[in-house]
Chain A
């Protein structure tokens, strides 16, 4: 290969980014209080009562991060965008299946769902809802769910990691290291409020990776204590967290990337703990969420509770339950994951409605691609192109964005569904119509993508 030796470092860097590994965590160099003149000043951490000098680049102490969250919480309420990822590439042709298309039974001799088990889809009589998606059909009927039956991009990549990376960074660019929501937060967010970009996960969702402002990651809001009855207890726990956070702030302002990452984590953990101590073992949701060993319904219940408590959340990202990379034995895996996802989303919407928060929240559900139209003989399907997505909330327009292209004319030369909506156009519309921000500053080449009308 010609470029084998010419630019290996570049190739390696690309490989790293393309494997979805290239996005920075909560470093580097954040938070940066531009223009605040805070460098080389001393701060007093509020609980430990000792002065801590903060040097270099003017980064904030843990105590000020906490103040930042408090300040943001008393400011005007912002709209909330929740990004939910169906990992593995969910089979669009099962979620909304073209039961009446003669090609469907031909392409899916074993996996085709019978017309009798589906629920009608008003916008397109060719399609039926998967029985496990019944709650989505309900929401769609109420006009609170917009369907994107074939969303994707030109020249689709069939690697999980590359395609997911594209969706996460909001561009078909393997070099981009920040997430699309992360860049939006970098442009508009606060230097001292990590809750503005919250991953409800055991780790950062890459769509939220920022370069400048802090974001946080949280398993669940009721699970952020630092003591456990089975383990050594620390009578000085609060002072310890303050000290760890303060020390973290010093390292977070240093030059070594690994020390900075470790320092930022400690600093933000302390700030987050301060804000979440109000949540006990239950959120007392006004509705019933599905019971599951998967954390998803619990996390959504916690999200509603955090919003009700007035915490300053703005962009939230989490993964849906289920395994959608269904190369084999697709029917049960897809049905189980889809059912829990749909049941939980319906409960979340009802929770927000009961709490009077539904007008503030919009949920975007996406997957890295759809699957091959023709099943593969392992009772599964291989990686495809365009996939299915949803927008959920009391303010969405309902209906469809793009249309179902059909199996006869809608497949590409590899037998994959062609996209009828571009995910970057959806992102641009979310930024402009929901978050009120110029998409050109976040999505590269935003001008070339058509914006669907998303809100009623």
Chain B
């Protein structure tokens, strides 16, 4: 088989900037340039094979006090957003976000921030490891057992909720090689988990053979006394699985569909042991990522990136509230299919992002200086780490600075920073 194509044009700051946004939460000032100097392969490997975790900068707070992520409403969001901002392993956090969207579990159906954060840690541990291990972990994860009724699924009364989504969303894709009978039989195989609806003690969630249906099941035409591990194994061994997995994973990083050859190459990489890391490494070096069209930044990526660029920290519950207004409250995906990446931006969420940007600038007024329009725009750009701009955007912002010159340098510079952040250039990457 032909090897997967690798981006071979110059890898400069602009490409490194895109890589940092797609595979993380954007550059800190100077980071894109430093990454570009390493060259493409080393740059990608620095993300996919990161150093031991380090969090740099002040810990998150709300009203001046340390946050209580297990207990205080909204502090779960703050806790993770802070990691996105401060971690030296941006791809690990970004992949954790991918899996949160993939195995989308909402605290609406779980009712325990502790169980949600436990699941989050499971996703983080498995972020770039084996999908097989990840799937087995998620299938027995207490939050998931609550969210998709796993604890209600017993031999006395099978519940199809997890069995259906296991195939439809997690491993195979809708109508991609299974039947309604397979759904029912999967439900039987998955029986045996028990747990407690109220309370947040992970130890309450156990496998109880008395609840398991020990009879023979027929799944994908194979028969046996299958249990939950067989359920997962049969999905992983299903011929539709590798293509579904690599195709869906690709879509988180590149907005255009991969060619047949690329898909076969990615499937071959994945087929060798269900490993996620080599697939991600290939996607991040693929020419389509650098030559193709832009992607709208998910709201939380936009937010974390803004804080990274400004050197700001997570210091108020407003980050969670306004994040919800922008269309992405962590730990509360809209449904089990996750967030809809095709329509992040509309008139409602535009306004949500406007407020997030205003919050990022709160307490950081411009220092002032020359009121020359070009210098004002330079200063506003520099405050954000010097992002690349399209000509249309710099022209429009320069026009704005000229028209409003009489309002004074500080007022115009503050407006320009907000307009920059809200420009289509910085909403996308």
Q: What is A's interface to B at a CB cutoff of 8 Å?
A: 1, 4-5, 8-9, 11-16, 18-26, 48-50, 52, 87, 158-162, 194, 199, 201-204, 216-219, 224, 226, 228, 230-232, 234-236, 239-240, 243-244, 246-248, 250-251, 254, 256-259, 261-266, 268-269, 272, 323, 327-329, 376-378, 380, 382-383, 414
How many angstroms between the C-alpha atoms of A261 and B414 in the bound complex? Answer: 25
Q: Contacts A16-B251, A247-B424, A258-B428 hold; do A161 and B337 have CB atoms under 8 A apart?
A: yes
A285 to chain B, nearest CB (A): 22
CB-based contact B157/A240 at 8 Å: no
CB-based contact B152/A380 at 8 Å: yes
How many angstroms between the C-alpha atoms of A52 and B396 in the bound complex? Answer: 8
CB-based contact B175/A22 at 8 Å: no
How many angstroms between the C-alpha atoms of A217 and B423 in the bound complex? Answer: 19
Residue among A162, A235, A259 making CB contact with B424, cutoff 8 Å: A259
CB-based contact B354/A235 at 8 Å: no
CB-based contact A19/B337 at 8 Å: yes
Total CB contacts across the A-B interface at under 8 A: 262
Residues of chain B lying within 8 A (CB to CB) of residue A239: 400, 403-404, 415
How many angstroms between the C-alpha atoms of A323 and B332 in the bound complex? Answer: 14
CB-based contact A15/B173 at 8 Å: yes
Residues of chain A lying within 8 A (CB to CB) of residue B390: 251, 259
Q: Contacts A9-B257, A194-B347, A262-B428 hold; do A244 and B399 have CB atoms under 8 A apart?
A: no
Q: Contacts A50-B403, A258-B428 hold; do A251 and B392 have CB atoms under 8 A apart?
A: yes
Residues of chain B lying within 8 A (CB to CB) of residue A19: 169, 174, 337
> 9 additional contacts, CB 8 Å, given A1-B176, A247-B423?
A12-B173, A12-B251, A26-B347, A48-B400, A203-B349, A224-B351, A232-B418, A247-B392, A259-B294
Measured CB to CB, the nearest residue on chain B to A53 is B395
CB-based contact A159/B348 at 8 Å: no
Q: Contacts A246-B396, A376-B157 hold; do A269 and B350 have CB atoms under 8 A apart?
A: yes
Number of B interface residues at 8 Å Cβ cutoff, please give it: 90
Residues of chain A lying within 8 A (CB to CB) of residue B218: none
Residues of chain B lying within 8 A (CB to CB) of residue A9: 257-260, 263
Residue among A159, A203, A232 making CB contact with B168, cutoff 8 Å: A159
Binds A, one of B113-121, B134-142, B239-247: B239-247
Quick one: CB contact mask for B307-337 with A, threshold 8 Å, 1 for yes? 0000000000010000011010000000111
Binds A, one of B57-65, B82-90, B356-364: B356-364
Whether B149 sits at the interface, judged by CB under 8 Å, is yes
CB-based contact B343/A12 at 8 Å: no
A114 to chain B, nearest CB (A): 22
Q: Contacts A217-B348, A269-B351, A328-B152 hold; do A49 and B403 have CB atoms under 8 A apart?
A: yes
Scoring B247, B318, B396, B425 by chain A CB atoms within 10 A of each residue's CB, the highest score goes to B396
A273 to chain B, nearest CB (A): 8
Binds A, one of B158-166, B228-236, B269-277: B158-166
How many angstroms between the C-alpha atoms of A239 and B350 in the bound complex? Answer: 17
A21 to chain B, nearest CB (A): 5
CB-based contact B346/A25 at 8 Å: yes
B4 to chain A, nearest CB (A): 15
